[in-house]
Chain A
Amino acid sequence: MVENDRWGIFFAHLVLILGVALVVFPVYIAVIASTHPSGTFVRGVMPLLPGPNALENYRTVIFEGRSRAGTPPIGGMLWNSFVMAMAITVGKLSISILSAFAIVYFRFPFRMFFFWVIFLTLMLPVEVRIVPTFQVVADLGMLNSFAGLSIPLIASATATFLFRQFFMTVPEELMEAARVDGAGPLKFFKDILLPLSITNIAALFVIMFIYGWNQYLWPLLITTDPEYYTIVMGIQRMVTGGDSEPLWHLVMATVVLAALPPILVILFMQRLFVKGLTETEK
């Protein structure tokens, strides 16, 4: 038994370590590659140890860009991605929490009909409705704008569902107590429901932010003005856009920088997340 267990533990660890290595190795390669001078890559061999050019590469990428290689400095692109991801996240969260609130706490005509309509949109992600959506956005003159980048991605059935599920676990007496205490629906929402949902909001925030940050097809389609390029499309343009060979050391630096904000969001939100978990139990 004991021996069996020992082998079991050993095997489990082996699998986990292999898995982690599989995930971490490409990231490691990217970080290493971003620290080498451009010449290193000509030989076609990826280095495994850090090179001397880290500071210079990152400075180049952030402040100067390589216009010959088809990219402006990426500072602007990072900002664009951030604005787009935030707009999508905040938009999705506010709309879905309000819809869930309406569906759970109000009795209005065709309530279940609207519920199913929201449900149906699950079957229509951007990629499916991209042509008509593009047409609408273009007709509204929202090409090359933050509104055009974010608004079409804001509706979210998933988040509406999760909030609805959560609201249904909140005891009804809480709402009744608030009514007796003189809180109208909006006050109840603001003072009681919202604070109780913090955990859910934090978790969804992380998921939505990463979703928004990673958007590729949609920004590629509706932005032609470099003003509005996002970082994810930027990487693609760096690889395929120039006349020369891609500047791999700079591409890798960009990749590393592009991966940072989602990581920061996760780290920051995790604290809120855990705090929410420990503080709002019923």
Chain B
Amino acid sequence: MATIVMDDLHKVYAGGVKAVTGISLDIADGEMIVLVGPSGCGKSTLLRMVAGLETISDGTLKIGDRVVNNLEPAERDIAMVFQNYALYPHMTVFNNLAYGLRNRKFPKAEIDRRVREAAEMLEIAQFLDRKPRNLSGGQRQRVAMGRALVREPAAFLFDEPLSNLDAKLRVQMRVEIRQLQKRLKTTSLYVTHDQLEALTMADRLVVLNGGKIEQVGTPMDVFSKPASVFVAGFIGSPAMNMIDAAYLHDKGEGNALPALPQGADLIGVRPDDLLLTAPQGPHLRLSGTVALLEPAGAESHIYVMLEGNSQPITIRVQGLPTVLEGAQVDFYAALDALHPFVRETGLRVA
């Protein structure tokens, strides 16, 4: 149980790569923070700096009320779950869980109690005598979780813990990890490149890009008010459509565009917010040719080419679409569903 405070953290690798450049973040006690961003944006680096596996080039890091910049990982009272699990291959599951406690000189009875309790919680009690190689991917994942759990640390650190699992198991473990975290109320820092994982698991999510924070907020905040073109494109799937404001002035037939904030020259609109029937209230009307239909079970994606616009526009509809490929369609967007950005800075206006 602890807060984590990052104050202007920097990481410069030996080769001169600036992986993290000036990150400040306050994490409340018991909060689940998800770090999300594309591959190479510095998520792992930041997490490993918190863990103590990478040195901190500049800035201060506090866990609880201690500055931990120069402490060994073991002294920071954190536990980490690795992407490839990093289980000790020659030890039984029991010993994998017990190893950290033994090193900390816990009494035998206490070790036994904690290991069994964690194994119970993670439903791996029947595997305690097995070696990791005799477990399935999902079970190994649970053992890796168990190794963190038994320590009862101040914070959990997860580095893409689910990315080696198949899609179905990933969803299941996602739910379990979140439930467990809510129950234990342990401060957690969770790294993923999967925006859906980020949206579903986070109390607050932190979108990273190029070693910097793009936006911090609750999943709803970030989704409904992305702070930049980058966030808008990264969070939400299919990605938000981006249309030049000039184009809309030309071709938008609702002619409501004067309502746009000052300086906005790039308009984002989510595929869900594009409708095939005109909504109530002020809206925008566009038309184009259906280039491709993509049925995806409960929903379908319609790709529409706007005349004079090279990028196709994605529309998401429930069920099967009522339009045909090659047909001309009209579609609509409510004005309050538009996200105004400035192209040059990439930032949102208002």
Interface residue ranges, A against B (CB under 8 Å): 171, 173-174, 176-183, 187, 191-192, 195-196, 279-282
**B168-210 interface code vs A (CB 8 A; 1 in, 0 out):** 0000000000000000000000000000000000000000000
Shortest A112–chain B CB gap in Å is 14
Contact of A182 among B87, B89, B104 (CB under 8 A): B104
In the bound complex, residues from chain A placing their C-beta under 8 Å from that of B147 are 177, 181
Contact of A180 among B74, B83, B87 (CB under 8 A): B74
Do B88 and A176 have beta carbons less than 8 Å apart?
no
Shortest B12–chain A CB gap in Å is 16
- B66 contacts A by Cβ under 8 Å: no
- B78 contacts A by Cβ under 8 Å: yes
Can you list 11 contacts pairing A with B, beta carbon distance less than 8 Å? A173-B84, A174-B88, A176-B51, A177-B87, A177-B147, A179-B52, A179-B53, A181-B100, A183-B74, A191-B99, A281-B89
Shortest A195–chain B CB gap in Å is 4
Interface residues in B66-109 (C-beta closer than 8 Å to A): 72-74, 78-80, 82-84, 86-90, 99-100, 103-104
* 8 tightest Cβ-Cβ pairs between the two chains A and B: A181-B100, A173-B86, A182-B103, A182-B74, A177-B86, A195-B90, A180-B73, A173-B82
Do A180 and B100 have beta carbons less than 8 Å apart?
yes
What DSSP secondary structure best describes chain B's contact surface? Answer: loop
- B113 contacts A by Cβ under 8 Å: no
Interface residue ranges, B against A (CB under 8 Å): 51-53, 72-74, 78-80, 82-84, 86-90, 99-100, 103-104, 131, 133, 147
Closest B residue by C-beta to A280? B90
Closest B residue by C-beta to A192? B88
In the bound complex, residues from chain A placing their C-beta under 8 Å from that of B103 are 181-183, 187
Closest A residue by C-beta to B153? A180
Contact of A179 among B72, B83, B84, B104 (CB under 8 A): B72
In the bound complex, residues from chain A placing their C-beta under 8 Å from that of B51 are 176, 180
In the bound complex, residues from chain A placing their C-beta under 8 Å from that of B79 are 180
In the bound complex, residues from chain A placing their C-beta under 8 Å from that of B82 are 173, 176-177
5 further A-B pairs in the complex, CB-CB below 8 A; given A177-B88, A182-B100, A192-B88: A174-B88, A176-B51, A177-B82, A180-B100, A182-B103
In the bound complex, residues from chain A placing their C-beta under 8 Å from that of B90 are 192, 195-196, 279-280
Do B88 and A281 have beta carbons less than 8 Å apart?
no
Closest A residue by C-beta to B83? A173
In the bound complex, residues from chain B placing their C-beta under 8 Å from that of A196 are 89-90
In the bound complex, residues from chain B placing their C-beta under 8 Å from that of A282 are 89, 133
Which residue, A178, A182, A192, A279, has most C-beta atoms of chain B within 10 A?
Answer: A182
Shortest A111–chain B CB gap in Å is 13
Shortest A276–chain B CB gap in Å is 10
A191 to B90, CA, bound (A): 10
Do A174 and B53 have beta carbons less than 8 Å apart?
no
In the bound complex, residues from chain A placing their C-beta under 8 Å from that of B52 are 179-180
In the bound complex, residues from chain B placing their C-beta under 8 Å from that of A180 are 51-53, 73-74, 78-80, 100
Do A181 and B89 have beta carbons less than 8 Å apart?
no
A192 to B96, CA, bound (A): 11
A282 to B51, CA, bound (A): 24
Do A174 and B72 have beta carbons less than 8 Å apart?
no
Shortest B59–chain A CB gap in Å is 21
In the bound complex, residues from chain B placing their C-beta under 8 Å from that of A187 are 103
A196 to B88, CA, bound (A): 9
Closest A residue by C-beta to B151? A181
Shortest B164–chain A CB gap in Å is 12
In the bound complex, residues from chain B placing their C-beta under 8 Å from that of A181 are 74, 99-100, 103, 147
